[in-house]
Amino acid sequence: MPIQAGDVALVTSRVMDDVPEGGGGPTATAIIDGTSNSIFPDISELDRAGGRVNLRQLFASVLTNSVDTYFGANVIVAEPPSDSKVSITLFSTGQVFDTRASAKGRIESYLSLGARFPGNLFGDHIAGQRIVTLLQRDTIPPPSVGDTLVMRKNDGLPNQLEQYIKVIAASSRLRTFTDINGDFIRLEVSLTLSDALTADFAGLDAMRTEPGAADYIGKTRMYSTIVADAARYYGVVPLTQAASLGDLVVKGSSIFTQLVPSTKVEVPIADARMSQRGSPLLKAGEPYTNTVNAVLSKAQSLYIGGKILPGSFTLAVGTVVLTDKGGVLFNADTAVGSIDYDNGVVSVSTNIFGTGANNITFTYTPADTPASVTSSVGVPVTAQGSGQIGCFPSHPFRHVAHCKSVTGHCPDGTYCQMMAQAHYVAQTVRWVQVRSISQLARFL
């Protein structure tokens, strides 16, 4: 009897739970289609708030009594979860009877242990520290921002403990030490870490010669890392553009997926000025005063007549005077409304002038938005730069085209309006990132 479609099924592993011995090889128990929680448990309130990684080992099996040859199968994630905070990813360790602990190690092996780092941990460090200090020769380049090192305590012993640390800031200074042979110089390097130390790590004192094996007993060795990228992950993302048979290119929403949860997220602020405005408004005329009979209330805004230079607006009805500051209207020190500088619209949040028409006198300086010329720059993203956000301040050019002096001063002795009103622009780039191994391990 040939193999039927219903004979091919997914079967559970021996331990279907998030414990170190999870997995352990296949069983004969088939996973029933359409049954809730047949693979993963429900998401608890705690997991919803703090995040969690669930790992399950599954197997494809042919459940027949015949000896017909089965030629193979493909396993895919057909649809993404409806919850955007949840992701499903497939990967294989290539082993049948491995456990959750070994699968966790495979995920963590994006970075693998490299050669000995030519430096030593200086002094003892305790759990919770976010700064570690190394001593090394001044002829050796120190670690730089973005580097990942490994701290390994009790190297080679049954109680060995290690932690991957990622450098987010680094500084160094030369220090002179003295022993029985006189003075010697070492480079002291202070490294700020992306994650705090999870355990105590014992370091060494300053030494003229390289430490030997006996010196490292009970102490910490430092190692560099190399990119191993040991695992391959498979998931599903929706198409952003419909694809047809024969297409060689398809467009998806992203090529990335979530591996571990993180409550510490860097949020880039793109194309932002110091004034928090998308485009600066520059002075375009002299102060202008006008009086109108109109309604200004919670239900009715007032159109001033054009773009307004920030900080130049006042509005008076009788003895009540409003001034602007950062897009907010104030009556003395009380916020009573808002102002749209670009569109020249004033709104109040209280009926400070009642609900009827009043004689409203306002004064403001006209403004306009100058045309901006954009530029681009390419920055290579390496392992040192991944996981970081970089902001590049672009200094404004002095507008001297109409000036008689090439120094940037106008004829009246003041700086040009363009220079005086210009704001610094921060172009922000979000690097393609893989979170630090220590942070990843904390959730697995």
Q: Indicate the pLDDT class of residue 87, thresholds 50, 70 and 90.
A: confident
Shared domain for 184 and 140, answered yes or no, is yes
Output the average pLDDT for the chain: 80
Rounded percentage of the chain residues whose pLDDT exceeds 90 = 37
Residue that is last in its domain, among 92, 108, 124: 108
Shared domain for 13 and 98, answered yes or no, is yes
Shared domain for 133 and 47, answered yes or no, is no
pLDDT of 182 above 70: yes
Is residue 16 within 8 A of residue 30, CB to CB? The reply is: no
Report if pTM > 0.85. no
**pLDDT greater at residue 139 or residue 107:** 139
Tell me how far the alpha carbon of residue 391 is from its chain's centroid: 13
- Domain presence at residue 253: no
Question: Picking from 8-22, 65-79, 163-177, which range would have the lowest pLDDT averaged per residue?
Answer: 65-79
**pLDDT greater at residue 105 or residue 247:** 247
Domain count, the chain: 4
Give strand pairing partners of 250: none
The pLDDT tens digits for 385-435 are: 655 556 555 544 444 444 443 333 344 433 333 333 333 333 333 333 333
Integer angstrom CA distances of residue 85 from 52, 80, 110, 184, 429: 11, 11, 23, 55, 23
pLDDT of 204 above 50: yes
Predicted pLDDT of residue 136: 94
Shared domain for 325 and 290, answered yes or no, is yes
Predicted pLDDT of residue 353: 92
- Domain presence at residue 240: no
Secondary structure (3-state) at 118: coil
Q: Indicate the pLDDT class of residue 272, thresholds 50, 70 and 90.
A: low
pLDDT of 264 above 60: no
Closest CA to 190 of 109, 255, 129, 128: 129
Is residue 421 within 8 A of residue 85, CB to CB? The reply is: no
CA dihedral 116, 117, 123, 124 (to 10 degrees): -60
pLDDT of 223 above 80: yes
Shared domain for 164 and 211, answered yes or no, is yes
pLDDT of 277 above 70: no
- Region 294-305 average pLDDT: 91
Residue that is last in its domain, among 108, 138, 158: 108
Residue that is last in its domain, among 341, 368, 395: 368
Shared domain for 91 and 135, answered yes or no, is no
- Domain presence at residue 244: no
- Region 182-205 average pLDDT: 93
The pLDDT tens digits for 344-397 are: 999 999 899 998 999 999 999 999 887 665 566 666 666 666 555 565 555 444
Integer angstrom CA distances of residue 267 from 181, 206, 423, 425: 53, 40, 21, 17
Shared domain for 61 and 127, answered yes or no, is no
Shared domain for 310 and 432, answered yes or no, is no
What is the number of H-type helices and E-type strands within the chain? 4, 23
**C-alpha span between 79 and 358 (Å, rounded):** 61
- Domain presence at residue 252: no
**C-alpha span between 364 and 302 (Å, rounded):** 14
**C-alpha span between 172 and 196 (Å, rounded):** 20
Is residue 367 within 8 A of residue 311, CB to CB? The reply is: no
**C-alpha span between 348 and 286 (Å, rounded):** 26
The pLDDT tens digits for 91-132 are: 888 889 999 988 887 777 777 888 999 999 999 999 999 999
Shared domain for 300 and 426, answered yes or no, is no
pLDDT of 142 above 70: yes
Q: Indicate the pLDDT class of residue 295, thresholds 50, 70 and 90.
A: very high
**pLDDT greater at residue 2 or residue 293:** 293
Burial class, 135, CB count within 10 angstroms (exposed 0-12 / middle 13-18 / buried 19+): buried
Predicted pLDDT of residue 184: 93
- Region 311-334 average pLDDT: 91
The pLDDT tens digits for 37-81 are: 889 998 888 888 878 889 999 998 888 888 888 888 888 888 888
**C-alpha span between 182 and 102 (Å, rounded):** 50
Distant-in-sequence, close-in-space partners of 221: CB < 8 Å, separation ≥ 6: 116, 151, 152, 155
Domain of residue 214: give its range.
111-227
Closest CA to 58 of 107, 13, 7: 13
Distant-in-sequence, close-in-space partners of 43: CB < 8 Å, separation ≥ 6: 52, 86
Predicted pLDDT of residue 390: 61
Q: Name the CA radius of gyration of the chain, rounded.
A: 32
Shared domain for 218 and 312, answered yes or no, is no
Distant-in-sequence, close-in-space partners of 212: CB < 8 Å, separation ≥ 6: none
- Domain presence at residue 259: no
- Region 227-253 average pLDDT: 85
Shared domain for 414 and 426, answered yes or no, is yes
Shared domain for 9 and 70, answered yes or no, is yes
**C-alpha span between 425 and 423 (Å, rounded):** 6
Closest CA to 258 of 53, 47, 22: 53
